[in-house]
């Protein structure tokens, strides 16, 4: 396993291996992943005085056995403690690997407590991280699109990195939280990156070799126009025989280079990317063509549902971007191939701090669906602000599109995907606390019904050890709510600076072609998405939600401005008017950010110096930025509404 | 002289030389500029059947004579017509060159009409064009900062161009409108460009050689930190003996390479550029140090007065960027060296479509002052919109800071400087009609009191010949007013997209650190710059202007929102309310843009095809952009004010 001295160990510090490393451990089985476990155990025992034993009594048995565990699948395992010996039993190497990290997470608890035997297996078979990494560095966007943690882990100087130590360390971290799939390049596929599919597949294979040792299958983002730009064909029409033949050939070459290749990720007809619309074909046609090429090899196509008109005229109030994914994809339910996965952003817009759950989730029962969340904090502080997204993702996964009797999103979804938040930053994620988002993603993908605060506790204990952390848990637990307080209110979204999306600009997207408006005027604010008088978006939900969202009275406060345009004097369920809510939350949000800064400052000497210093700098910026948000938003709405703050605080 | 077939001849098409080229012409005198004239005459006569004669009778005599013309200076000339023969007499080659182009402008009129003798000499001794060209291409800003006409004329591939044919053609165009000085690099001096002063001075000399043949002296923008970044000193303190010695040595080397070098242009303590404030020195200290180094060689330092706080807190209403130049420089009057020129933007802000004249102009009677205008249309349509700035510049030059009895700006100024609008675009300026701005600048610098419409007529006749141009003159004559109508109203300024400054964003700079605010709220809009209740900026003017601007009643309509914050219902001198004025002008401006597009379309077959096609594309964009401005500005103010348009037109 990698030992990169300068690299932050994240949730796998040496200490986390003390409990098992001090014991007699037996590893039984064979295969690449079993060897990975064996090497891990050897390293831990070497460090902490334990012993790897092949025969005789042991305190921890890690074993792959064919047989009765088959129904758990390759990735499941049984963890048992018989009062003296702990054991992990799996039917395949992957299960053993996850069981090993389960023991790591338990620490001493693995070796004490009641006699027990527990079955563990992932709720979702694919738990994927999508990297929006470019091979080349873009002069404006940088190397990682919407990346806030330095350059790419995978690509440097225009090619795959030669030294993959960091990639292996990353794969290990991913495995330790349950991720088993990675897409190594941006869904916006530029010219150089397009060629990864063909003549540059060797670079992908090189990366795949490093990821495979921790049970991670490699995926590739490809351009729908590949038959034209790479194959020299005149069309990429998905029903054209020559096009289908070209893809079949290309996929064959990919699998020759990467035998366990996971498949493709495709952003088509979206924000300028090519797609099947150009040929009058449906997105099912497009996805199924790629699915057909991948099927013989066991590959999957992840087809993104993020399709909308990004050249909208802001004057046109009849078009509603929130409607787009449902309008495009709901009619296609049942038409997608078995190895095509529709990858759906969790909200109908674009990873805002607060959105309703996408009505697409629940609307395609006969389609394999992946829920896409954004670990990279594009709209939630860009890893300069602490904002732990566990509660938001958990809300999505626990949402029941068909009401209390129906399944939750986490129960009905087939996969969970996160847009990556890591880069070649020494702390992986820019803000050291942003590591919690990646960890939480992996754990929720394994168990969507998990209590996010339990996951947070796991992460804290692994990362910082057992010591006293002051208010750090509370800080993180409340950080999403805090961020929401000082940014766009009541679900209305955006209000960010155009382009880079950092910091406030209330009207930044108000007269733009992107379809992201708040319609604030002197009387009120919000988007009427009701069926009765608005865009009809609320009607895309099943009951009870269509009715809940349809009326101002039943719509939850936090989504009020997403669904309704209301006067500033509208009284919320909280008892406050909308305008007073805006003022109050913005003052509160800043106070909480200041308190968060104090909490971190109190960890001096507890957190190691480099990580502490990085955090100090980030919290400084968070407070500055939160104040900017507070003052711009409050001033904007005070100037527009003319309503003074009830408490007479300073508004500019 | 250059013959570059692919290059637009601008205001020097071959036809412009027909009248003199068909005649017997004698050129008498010697020296580089006389040779330039001789070559011009030879070329014209060769083309149009005339003859260059050295003896005997001629129809045009171009002659340099020492003697009684001395008082006209090197650049003046006498034009005479005795009923049979036209003549230009000058005391130096420069005067002969300008006289030659005077004859070109006159065409056949030079050789007919009454017997006459006219003295011509430039009102301002230095008529300079500043290029904001970088040697290197900036990934965001491009090569020419605020350039809208392609790459640099001077620099390509990281060095001075080797083929200077285009530079010579440019120098010729400049001479033909009276420009005699050029600064060849950006006032924001980056790392590569800093070295033009020292080891790369040879490249500057190479350019200077090409410019010299048309009477143009070369200037260089330098960084105030040069002693540190180039000289390895620890300070650039202007009172430090070592620093002064370093500059003296550097200047000596410059003059060794470029004997007629014009001098330096310096942007110090401005928008991040280094300056004397770092050492507790005044800007007079800074400028005088450079002046002292340049004085032995006859060089001049142009020291820009564009000094303000660009990291202002928008919450701070006490700071007013408009005040900054006066506050910084007025107290220094009398302290600047004789060869230091204070270069002052014509307005107190930054080249907006409407600003009052800068109170700095008129406030430093004992200081040499250059008025800086911006030919490059940063805030006036970026050479995608037709916007002829002649009337605006003329208003500035005719403004009398001390009232009717005192001199005008054009009379009191020592120099006129324009930021260049040309690049390596085939039409020089992107929009072919933007050539008129450069031409008008040169002619106004020669004669600040000239009637701008006469200059426009000159330009039209030279550029397009004598044919019928439909409404083109009217289009250009009204284009500045048109642009003002559909953009920021009543002098309030900005409302542009941040960064690139193209297109509308009403709040784009409202909460920014740049000091450019409109303070619109639900009740009113504008900046209170009165002495009584505002920032006091109005008090920087002498009388009568201080009083005129101080009160809402006497302030001219077009500057009302620059000086006052007024309710939307405020009635203008026009009889309209502010809000109705906003609506009306924005609808009118678009109608005028549509009419301008029709006018240009009517010139098909009259204007040569390439130029026509370029114009068609530009007017298409102008109409689109004008509509965007109209709808955003009107919607913004309707949403804020709630006041409906009296005429019930569509506001979104």
Whether the CB-CB separation of A480 and A392 falls below 8 Å is answered with: yes
Q: Which residue, among A139, A497, A498, A507, would best test binding to B if mutated, counting the most B CBs under 10 Å from its CB?
A: A507
Q: Do A522 and B639 touch (CB under 8 A)?
A: yes
List, for residues B196-230, the tens digit of each pLDDT value: 999 999 999 999 999 999 999 999 999 999 999 99
Q: Do A315 and B506 touch (CB under 8 A)?
A: no
List, for residues B76-112, the tens digit of each pLDDT value: 999 999 999 999 999 999 999 999 999 999 999 999 9
- For residue B631, the chain A residue with the least C-alpha distance is A315
Measure the CA–CA gap between A254 and A261, rounded to whole angstroms. Answer: 8
Q: Do A521 and B639 touch (CB under 8 A)?
A: yes
**Annotated catalytic, A378?**
yes
pLDDT at A69: 75
Measure in Å the smallest separation between the Cα of B632 and chain A Cα atoms: 7
Q: Which of A271, A454, A608, A646 is catalytic?
A: A271
Element (H, E) at B20: helix B18-21
- For residue B142, the chain A residue with the least C-alpha distance is A139
B652 touches chain A (CB under 8 A): yes
Sign of CA dihedral A621, A626, A631, A633: positive
Q: Do A522 and B522 touch (CB under 8 A)?
A: yes
Q: What is the three-class DSSP state of A448?
A: coil
pLDDT at A5: 63
- For residue A643, the chain B residue with the least C-alpha distance is B522
B646 touches chain A (CB under 8 A): no
- For residue A522, the chain B residue with the least C-alpha distance is B640
Residues of A within 8 A of B628 (CB-CB) are 511
Q: Do B641 and A522 touch (CB under 8 A)?
A: yes
Q: Do B632 and A511 touch (CB under 8 A)?
A: yes
pLDDT at residue B141 greater than cutoff 90: no
pLDDT at B4: 55
pLDDT per 10-residue tile (average), chain A, 652 residues? 69 97 97 98 98 93 86 94 97 97 98 97 97 89 93 96 96 98 97 97 98 98 98 97 98 98 97 95 98 98 95 95 98 98 98 98 97 98 98 98 96 98 97 98 98 98 93 98 98 97 97 97 98 98 98 98 98 98 98 98 96 98 98 98 98 96
pLDDT at B241: 98
Q: What is the three-class DSSP state of B88?
A: strand
Q: How far is CA A433 from CA A220, A351, A448, A574, A618, in A?
A: 28, 19, 21, 31, 10
Of B287, B391, B300, B289, the C-alpha closest to B329 is B287
Q: Which of B378, B484, B584, B592 is catalytic?
A: B378
Measure the CA–CA gap between B65 and B99, rounded to whole angstroms. Answer: 13
Confidence label for B67 from pLDDT (cuts 50, 70 and 90): confident
Question: Which of A140, A505, A642 is the closest to B140 by Cβ?
Answer: A140
Mean pLDDT of B129-147: 91
Measure the CA–CA gap between B75 and A100, rounded to whole angstroms. Answer: 90
Measure in Å the smallest separation between the Cα of A613 and chain B Cα atoms: 26
Residues of B within 8 A of A506 (CB-CB) are 507
User: Which residues are paired to A115 by β-bridges?
Assistant: none
What is the CB neighbour count within 10 angstroms for residue A3? 10
b/e per residue, B346-384, with b = 16+ CB within 10 A?
A: bbbbbbbbbbbbbbbbbbbeebbbbbbbbbbbbbbbbbb
Q: Do B642 and A139 touch (CB under 8 A)?
A: no
Measure the CA–CA gap between B84 and B60, rounded to whole angstroms. Answer: 9
Q: Do B314 and A652 touch (CB under 8 A)?
A: yes
Of A80, A59, A60, the C-alpha closest to A69 is A80
Q: Do B505 and A507 touch (CB under 8 A)?
A: yes
Residues of B within 8 A of A636 (CB-CB) are 507, 511
pLDDT at residue B328 greater than cutoff 50: yes
Confidence label for B3 from pLDDT (cuts 50, 70 and 90): very low
A569 touches chain B (CB under 8 A): no
Measure in Å the smallest separation between the Cα of B184 and chain A Cα atoms: 26
Angle at B134 between CA B130 and CA B136, to 5 degrees: 170
Measure the CA–CA gap between A85 and B454, rounded to whole angstroms. Answer: 101
List, for residues B259-291, the tens digit of each pLDDT value: 999 999 999 999 999 999 999 999 999 999 999
Measure in Å the smallest separation between the Cα of A586 and chain B Cα atoms: 16
B65 touches chain A (CB under 8 A): no
Predicted-assembly ipTM surpassing the 0.90 threshold: yes
Measure in Å the smallest separation between the Cα of A559 and chain B Cα atoms: 23
Question: Which of B140, B315, B507 is the closest to A507 by Cβ?
Answer: B507
Measure in Å the smallest separation between the Cα of B520 and chain A Cα atoms: 7
Mean pLDDT of B642-649: 98
B318 touches chain A (CB under 8 A): no
A411 touches chain B (CB under 8 A): no
Measure in Å the smallest separation between the Cα of B640 and chain A Cα atoms: 5
Q: Do A635 and B506 touch (CB under 8 A)?
A: no
Residues of B within 8 A of A514 (CB-CB) are none
Residues of B within 8 A of A640 (CB-CB) are 521-522, 639-640
Chain A, window 129-148: residues with a beta carbon less than 8 angstroms from a chain B beta carbon? 139-140
Which residue carries 């023969």 as its tokens? B85
pLDDT at B162: 94
pLDDT at residue B2 greater than cutoff 80: no
Alpha helices, H only, B373-423: 390-398, 409-412
B511 touches chain A (CB under 8 A): yes
Measure in Å the smallest separation between the Cα of A428 and chain B Cα atoms: 27
Measure the CA–CA gap between B503 and A309, rounded to whole angstroms. Answer: 21
Alpha helices, H only, A470-568: 472-477, 479-486, 545-550, 560-563
A312 touches chain B (CB under 8 A): no
User: Distance between the two ends of chain B, CA-based, in angstroms?
Assistant: 56
Question: Which of B507, B521, B631 is the closest to A506 by Cβ?
Answer: B507
Tally A–B CB contacts below 8 A: 58
B66 touches chain A (CB under 8 A): no
- For residue A652, the chain B residue with the least C-alpha distance is B315
**Annotated catalytic, A350?**
yes
Residues of A within 8 A of B639 (CB-CB) are 520-522, 640
Bond from prior residue into B544 cis (ω within 30 degrees of 0):
yes
- Cβ-based burial of A198 (10 A; exposed 0-12, middle 13-18, buried ≥19): middle
**Annotated catalytic, A333?**
no
Whether the CB-CB separation of B146 and B133 falls below 8 Å is answered with: no
């Amino acid at each position: 396993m990698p030992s990169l001295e300068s690299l932050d160990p994240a949730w796998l510090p040496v200490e986390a291996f003390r409990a098992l490393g001090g014991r007699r451990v037996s590893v039984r089985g064979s295969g690449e992943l079993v060897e990975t476990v064996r090497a891990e155990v050897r390293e831990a025992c070497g460090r902490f005085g334990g012993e790897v034993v092949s025969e005789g009594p042991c305190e921890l048995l890690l074993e792959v056995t064919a047989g009765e565990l088959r129904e758990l699948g390759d990735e499941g395992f049984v963890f048992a403690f018989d009062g003296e010996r702990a054991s992990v039993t799996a039917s395949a190497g992957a299960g053993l690997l996850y069981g090993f990290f389960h023991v790591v997470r338990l620490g001493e608890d693995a070796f004490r407590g009641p006699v027990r035997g527990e079955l563990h297996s992932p709720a979702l078979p694919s738990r994927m991280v999508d990297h929006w990494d470019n091979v080349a560095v873009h002069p404006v966007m940088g190397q990682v699109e919407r990346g806030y943690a330095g350059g790419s882990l995978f690509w440097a100087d225009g090619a795959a990195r030669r030294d993959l130590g960091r990639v292996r360390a990353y794969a290990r971290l991913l495995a330790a939280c349950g991720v088993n799939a990675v897409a190594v390049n941006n869904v916006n596929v530029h010219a150089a990156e397009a060629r990864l599919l063909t003549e540059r597949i060797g670079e992908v294979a090189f990366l795949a070799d490093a990821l495979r040792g921790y049970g991670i299958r490699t995926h590739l983002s490809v351009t729908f126009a590949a038959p034209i730009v790479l194959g020299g064909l005149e069309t990429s029409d998905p029903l054209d025989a020559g096009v289908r033949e070209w893809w079949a050939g290309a996929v064959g070459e990919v699998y020759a280079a990467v035998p366990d290749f996971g498949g493709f990720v495709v952003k088509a007809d979206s924000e300028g990317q090519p797609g099947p619309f150009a040929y009058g074909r449906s997105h099912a046609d497009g996805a199924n063509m790629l699915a057909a090429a991948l099927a013989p090899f066991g590959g999957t196509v992840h087809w993104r549902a993020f399709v909308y008109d990004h050249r909208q005229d802001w004057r046109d109030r009849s078009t509603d971007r929130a409607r787009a994914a449902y309008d495009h994809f709901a009619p296609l339910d049942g038409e997608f191939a078995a190895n095509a996965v529709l990858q759906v952003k969790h909200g109908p817009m674009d990873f805002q701090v607060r959105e309703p759950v996408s009505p697409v989730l629940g609307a395609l029962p006969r389609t394999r669906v992946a829920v896409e969340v954004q670990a990279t904090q594009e709209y939630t502080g860009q890893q300069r602000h602490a904002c732990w997204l566990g509660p938001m993702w958990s809300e999505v996964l626990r949402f029941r599109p068909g009401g209390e009797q129906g399944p939750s999103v986490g129960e009905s979804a087939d996969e969970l995907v996160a847009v990556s938040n890591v880069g070649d930053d020494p702390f992986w994620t820019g803000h050291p606390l942003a590591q919690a988002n990646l960890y939480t993603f992996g754990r929720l993908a394994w168990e969507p019904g998990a209590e996010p605060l339990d996951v947070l506790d796991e992460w804290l204990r692994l990362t910082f050890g057992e010591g006293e952390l002051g208010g750090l848990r509370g800080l993180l637990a409340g950080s999403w709510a805090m961020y929401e307080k000082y940014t766009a209110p009541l679900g209305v979204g955006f209000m960010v600076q155009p382009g880079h999306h950092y910091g406030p600009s209330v009207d930044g997207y108000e007269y733009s072609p992107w379809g992201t408006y708040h319609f604030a005027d002197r009387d009120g604010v919000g988007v009427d998405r009701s069926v009765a008088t608005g865009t009809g978006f609320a009607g895309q939900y099943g009951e009870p939600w269509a009715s809940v969202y349809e009326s101002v009275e039943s719509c939850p406060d936090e989504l009020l401005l997403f669904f309704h345009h209301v006067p500033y004097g509208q009284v919320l369920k909280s008892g406050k008017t909308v305008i007073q809510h805006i003022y109050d939350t913005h003052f509160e949000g800043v106070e909480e950010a200041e308190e968060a800064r104090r909490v971190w400052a109190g960890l001096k000497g507890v957190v190691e110096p480099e990580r502490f210093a990085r955090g100090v700098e980030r919290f400084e910026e968070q407070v500055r930025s939160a104040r900017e948000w507070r003052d711009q938003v409050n001033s904007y709405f005070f100037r527009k509404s003319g309503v003074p703050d009830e408490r007479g605080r300073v508004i500019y």
